[in-house]
């Protein structure tokens, strides 16, 4: 039985996380070498048994990036990097859980809300449009566009959180990953994509997902 590298506690077979301290435990997989005297059926059976002690479901390839780098790029690109971030990960999230997908509607709504919010914040750079609106109308446009932008981002974040948790529960051989991956609703609400990316990185580092 393996021991946790963080606290030294005994780990369950196939666990990717320690149930005592929450430390990530990378699970190494060994594929038995083929024996010319064995039949192909016996070799495939050996590979199946080698996976039973580790991950119990198919893995997807996920992009890893530092949340700090994400925050910096968001400011440098005037909030358009989060849109790109979503579209680059949409295909992977759609393949994680059959009954729960990110889809295309929410990312497109987020793109439209981002364009509207950025345009409303820079409306003074459009003299003809700015002169046709009163101060109250400009404030109202900015406020409503911000709400649309934040609401669409929040819906995507919680959809991704649900997919990550379902994927972790199916992929890990123990229930620990499902209890640790993206478990905080408050963190999801306040940190949005930064929190989601942190747990994407965690899944990759623990061996529950491949690195794209």
DSSP 23-76: -B-PPP--PPPP-TTS-HHHHHHHHHHHHHTS--S---EE----HHHHHHHHHH
Rg (CA), the chain: 22
| Mean pLDDT along residues 92-105 | 94
Per-residue confidence (pLDDT) for residue 1, from 0 to 100 = 65
What does the pLDDT look like over 171-186, one tens digit per residue? Answer: 876 777 778 899 999 9
Q: Is the pLDDT of residue 5 over 90?
A: no
- In terms of phi and psi (left: phi > 0; alpha: psi -120 to 50; beta: otherwise), the region of 22 is left
11-15, 49-53, 192-196: the lowest-pLDDT one: 49-53
Residue in the block written with tokens 């529960």: 169
Q: Is the pLDDT of residue 187 over 80?
A: yes
Task: Give the side-chain half-sphere CA count within 13 A for 20.
Answer: 10
Q: How confident is the model at residue 11 (pLDDT cuts 50, 70, 90)?
A: confident
Per-residue confidence (pLDDT) for residue 61, from 0 to 100 = 95
Q: How confident is the model at residue 123 (pLDDT cuts 50, 70, 90)?
A: confident
Q: Is the pLDDT of residue 52 over 50?
A: no
Per-residue confidence (pLDDT) for residue 9, from 0 to 100 = 76
In sequence order, the β-bridge partners of residue 24 are 17
| Mean pLDDT along residues 74-84 | 95
Rounded-to-integer distance, Cα 101 and Cα 93, Å:
6
Q: How confident is the model at residue 58 (pLDDT cuts 50, 70, 90)?
A: confident
Per-residue confidence (pLDDT) for residue 50, from 0 to 100 = 34
| Mean pLDDT along residues 61-80 | 95
Per-residue burial over 152-184, b if 16 or more Cβ lie within 10 Å, else e, is bbeebbbbbbebbbbbbbbbbbbebbbebbbee
Q: How confident is the model at residue 31 (pLDDT cuts 50, 70, 90)?
A: very low
What does the pLDDT look like over 125-168, one tens digit per residue? Answer: 888 888 888 889 999 999 999 999 999 999 999 999 999 999 99
Instruction: State both tokens at 160.
Output: 């991704």
99-108, 175-184, 196-205: the lowest-pLDDT one: 175-184
């Amino acid at each position: 039985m393996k021991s946790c590298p963080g606290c030294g506690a005994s780990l369950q077979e196939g666990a990717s996380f320690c149930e005592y301290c929450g430390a990530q435990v990378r699970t190494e997989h060994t594929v038995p070498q083929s024996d010319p005297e064995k039949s192909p059926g016996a070799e495939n059976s050996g590979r199946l048994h080698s996976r039973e002690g580790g991950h119990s479901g198919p893995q997807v390839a996920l992009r890893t990036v530092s949340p700090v780098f994400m925050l910096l790029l968001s400011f440098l690109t005037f909030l358009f990097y989060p849109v790109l971030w979503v579209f680059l990960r949409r295909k992977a999230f759609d393949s994680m859980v059959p009954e729960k997908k990110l889809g295309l509607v929410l990312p497109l709504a987020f793109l439209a809300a981002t364009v509207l919010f950025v345009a409303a914040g820079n409306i003074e750079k459009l003299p003809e449009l700015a002169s046709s609106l009163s101060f109250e109308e400009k404030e109202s446009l900015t406020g409503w566009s911000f709400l649309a932008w934040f609401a669409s981002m929040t819906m995507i974040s919680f959809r991704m959180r649900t997919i990550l948790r379902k994927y972790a529960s199916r992929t890990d051989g123990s229930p620990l990953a499902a209890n640790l991956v993206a478990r905080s609703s408050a963190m999801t609400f306040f940190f949005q994509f930064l929190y989601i990316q942190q747990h994407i990185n965690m899944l990759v580092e623990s061996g529950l997902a491949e690195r794209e």
